[in-house]
Each structure stands twice: as C-alpha cells, then as structure tokens.
Chains A and B, each alone.
Chain A
Amino acid sequence: MKDLWRGLRAILVKDIAVELRARQVLPTMVVLGMLIVFILRMASESGSASAGAPVMGAAALWIAFLFSGLLAQERSFASEQQNGCIDGLLLAPLDVGTIYLAKLLANVIVLTIFEAIVVPIVMMSFNLHVAGGWLGLAIVLLLGNVGISSIGTLFSAAVQLTRTRGSLLSIVVLVILMPMMIPASFALLVLFGAMPDHAAGSSPFAFVGSFHAAVGYMLAFDAVFVVACWLLFGIVVEE
C-alpha cells in the first residue's frame, strides 16, 4: 500500500512539474474554452436571448468542457513519448495500475484548474445564477471531470503511444462518455434554474426531474469506468 502511494506520488509530482515547465496545455485549454464560450454566446444572440440563457449557458459549459477536456487527455502520455520515457515507467517496480491512477489524478487536477477559470467566464457571459447552490455545481463538475479523465487517460495511452491524430482519441472518449452527458446536462440545467428539480418522490426509478438521481448516476458512471479502465490499463500500455 505504501509502495502504491510512493509510486503514485512520484509520477503525479513529476507530471505536474513537467506541465508547469512546458506550459503548453493549460493555456491552450483555457483559450480554447473561452473561444468556444464566446462563439456560442454570439451564436445565441438572437431573439429572446435572456430566456434561453441558462440552456445555452449549460450547453456552452459542457461543450467547452468536453473539447478542452479532450486536449487535457492528449497531454497525459505526450510527455512519455519523448526519449522513451514510457519505458522508464514500465521498467520501474510499480504496478501498471499505479501509472494509470497517477495519470488520472494529474488529468483531473489540470481539468479542475481549467474549470476554476472557465466556469466563472461562462456564468458571466450568459448571466447565469447558481440557483441550486455552489456545492452542487462543484460536485457535478468534479464528477464530469473524473468521467472524461478516466476514459481519456486509458485511451490516451492506447492512441498516443502509437502517434495518431488526436481526433481518434476524441471520438473514442466522446462516444463512451455520451450516456453520462444526459444526466450531466440535466443536472446543470437544474443548477442554473432552467428546470425544476422534482425530488424522487415517486418510484426510485423516476429519474426524470431528479437532481439527486442525476448526481447518483454520474457517481456510478465514474465508479464503473475508473475501475474498468484501471483494470484494463495494463493491456493497453503493453507493447
């Protein structure tokens, strides 16, 4: 257990140090995110803009999050491609799953920094108010973050290490992430006050309209995919 933590910490610290030195991905992500928000804001400036603002705002947030999030995933193994560094990791007396968890954490951290910068920008552009509470928003964003990072880290190793176009990674991550986007969008709409939250009063499967069910779903989704990707990572990173 202590070994796991030691290896994980070493890789995590190294990844963040490399990212801070290279200073490439985070600025690109933030600028991309801002551009997307800007474009969507301009695109929605037609007719009753204020009425549709929460809906457009939620959409803008997720779209910016997804596309910038994909950039974040691409960086996971970019640094390992040079100088055969991935071999350096694979030679070490570490369980392969530890590499996955370390990279996953690094991605989650980078994406969280991104969210901290861009989400307020989205809120300001669309004049949104968080009706459902900031904690709720933070939880939803974190769960979405873990979701995209769990799948992205795995496939980044699969696709990146063979030097393909990033678009391949994008379609793979997006298609698997798709089911989570439904309750995620819904949760955001409730938070921004565009949709009322019908607490699960009736049957436990009356998901329509329940914020708690949406968050519960995202949690379950994340749990399934973090575990599955962690287990399958060894297969994908092997030569």
Chain B
Amino acid sequence: MALSVCSIRKAYGTRPVLRNVDLAVPGGQAVCLFGINGAGKSTLLRIVAGLLRPDGGDVTINEHDVRKHPEAAKQQLGMISHASMAYPELTVHENLTFAARLYGVPNRMERIEELLAGTELAPFRHDRAAILSRGLLQRLAIARALLHRPTVLLADEPFTGLDAGASDRLLAIFDRFVRDGGSILMTTHDTRMGVRCCQRVAVLDKGVLILDAMKDQIDSDRFADDYLSYARSKS
C-alpha cells in the first residue's frame, strides 16, 4: 500500500479535529478529499506529510512509518500546498537546485531541466521567485514537489487561483503521475476538477470520513450537486 493512514486522531485542546480517520491509497490511484472549511482536510494532509504530530494513529508511506522512519518516508513524499515554499530572493533554478540538494537527487542538473521543461518554466529559470505570478509560483511548487521522483503526492487545494489553462496543465501532470504508478491525495473545493482527476472521492465532515467511494460507484454529476448543497447547508 503506497499510503496508509490508520486511526488518525487529532485534537486542539478539547476540540477534536480528526476522529479515527482511516484511509488506504494504493499505487496508481488518486483520491480527492472534499470537506467544508474546518473539516480537518489540511490538518490531515499535514499529519500525513509529517509536519504535524497526531494524538494517535500512524501514517505509513510504502511501509515506512512517517514518525518512526521519517527520512525514508519523506524521501518518497512530495507536497504541493498553498504556499510555494520558494525563497523570494533566489531564482527559479536556484530554488530547484536547493530542493534537489536537500533530497539528494542524482543527476541534479538534468533532472531540473526535465522539470523546467515539463512545467514550462524554462524561460523563467533565472527570474527571482519574488517577481513570479501566482500561476508561475504554483508551477515552481509542482516542479519542486516532483523533483525527487516521489511515489506519493499530497496536494492541498492545488487548483485554487489557477486559470483554465493552468488547471488543465496541472490535471495533465497529475494524470501522468498516476499513470506512472504514483498515488495522489488531494483536497479541493472544486468538485468539477476534483472528480475529473481522481478515481476515488472522499468527504471529511467534522473529522470523520462520511464518504469514501470509487468514482464509478457513484453518480459523478449527482455527487457534485449533492456535495454543493451539503456544503451550502453547513455554512
């Protein structure tokens, strides 16, 4: 199992955020996690990435426990979050070089060129991250996340703020990643994009998974409408 989340519990003080969440994602599958704000999606993602410590339960990535063997687990993990994790003073190329060094990527220069081409960032390679637009920063974040050839990709609301062209590009990258055997766990509010790129959908409500089904088991159109009315009723 590429990504295995077992009985994850997290509470902030007396307020529970995640209650016994179980999720197993095999290789070659993309899971889209929906939920209203405050449902615990980002918290779950951060726990899976090893950035946050859960109160109970464990996360394993390709049989490596994130807390017990963090280095082995993190080597296989890539994350795209709201923030680009790019240093504004450094150029695109320098940011990627730094990430490549951190992960010990072999044939560093070639791999960076590969990703610059794949995300169409090559013309901007010597531009400092400070002057990049949101879309370009997003592409940099993607390149950074894929640099070390992870097998599991986490994406926290990756389509937010992207125009149609950028969204399609991201979709293509995700598709190829899954076809190559990788697993994706993403969170999003965009039901259309989410359902399009994933094979499996799940909904988190107040820290509990209230739905976890393969896409072909549910009616996708109905799901989108149902989810929207559910989300509206909650706010």
Contact = CB atoms under 8 A, between A and B. Distances in A.
A and B touch in the complex (CB under 8 A): yes
Interface of A: 3, 6-7, 9-11, 14, 17-18, 21-22, 79, 82-85, 87-95, 238-239
A84 B79 contact: no
B118 interface: no
A238 B104 contact: no
A93 B103 contact: yes
Nearest to B49: A91
A89 B87 CA distance: 12
Interface of B: 46, 49-53, 70-75, 77, 79, 81-90, 94, 98-99, 101-104, 129, 137, 144
Given A6-B104, A83-B84, A95 B71 contact: yes
B75 A93 contact: yes
B81 A93 contact: no
B101 A10 contact: yes
Contacts of A94: 71, 102
Contact of A239 (B52, B72, B98, B99): B52
Contacts of A3: 71, 104
B102 A21 contact: no
16 contacts: A3-B104, A11-B102, A17-B89, A17-B94, A18-B90, A22-B89, A82-B87, A83-B137, A84-B81, A85-B87, A87-B79, A91-B49, A91-B74, A92-B74, A92-B103, A93-B72
Which 8 A/B pairs are nearest by Cβ-Cβ distance? A84-B83, A88-B85, A10-B101, A21-B89, A92-B102, A93-B71, A93-B74, A93-B75
A88 B104 contact: no
Contacts of A22: 89
Contact of B82 (A6, A9, A10, A84): A84
B53 A82 contact: no
B74 A84 contact: no
Contacts of A7: 101-102
Contacts of A93: 70-75, 102-104
Contacts of B51: 87, 90-91, 239
A14 B50 contact: no
A11 B101 CA distance: 9
B134 to A, nearest CB: 12
A151 B89 CA distance: 27
Given A6-B104, A91-B51, A18 B89 contact: yes
A6 B75 CA distance: 14
Given A14-B98, A92-B99, 7 more contacts: A3-B71, A17-B94, A18-B87, A22-B89, A82-B87, A93-B74, A94-B102
B51 to A, nearest CB: 6
Nearest to B78: A91
Choose among A82, A83, A95, A238 the residue with the greatest number of B CB atoms under 10 Å from its CB. Answer: A83
Contact of B84 (A6, A84, A92): A84
A61 to B, nearest CB: 32
A79 B74 contact: no
- Interface-central residue, A6, A22, A79, A85, by most chain B CB under 10 Å: A85
B109 to A, nearest CB: 15
Nearest to B86: A83
Given A93-B70, A93-B71, A95-B71, A17 B90 contact: yes
Contacts of B72: 93
Contact of B90 (A9, A21, A89, A92): A21
Contacts of B102: 7, 10-11, 88-89, 92-94
Contacts of B73: 93
Contacts of A92: 74, 99, 102-103
B144 to A, nearest CB: 8
Nearest to B148: A93
Given A6-B104, A7-B102, A10-B101, A87 B87 contact: no
A79 B87 contact: yes
Contacts of A91: 49-51, 74, 77, 79, 85
A10 B100 CA distance: 9
Nearest to A79: B87
A186 to B, nearest CB: 41
Contact of A14 (B70, B87, B129): B87
Contact of B83 (A10, A87, A95, A239): A87
Nearest to B128: A21
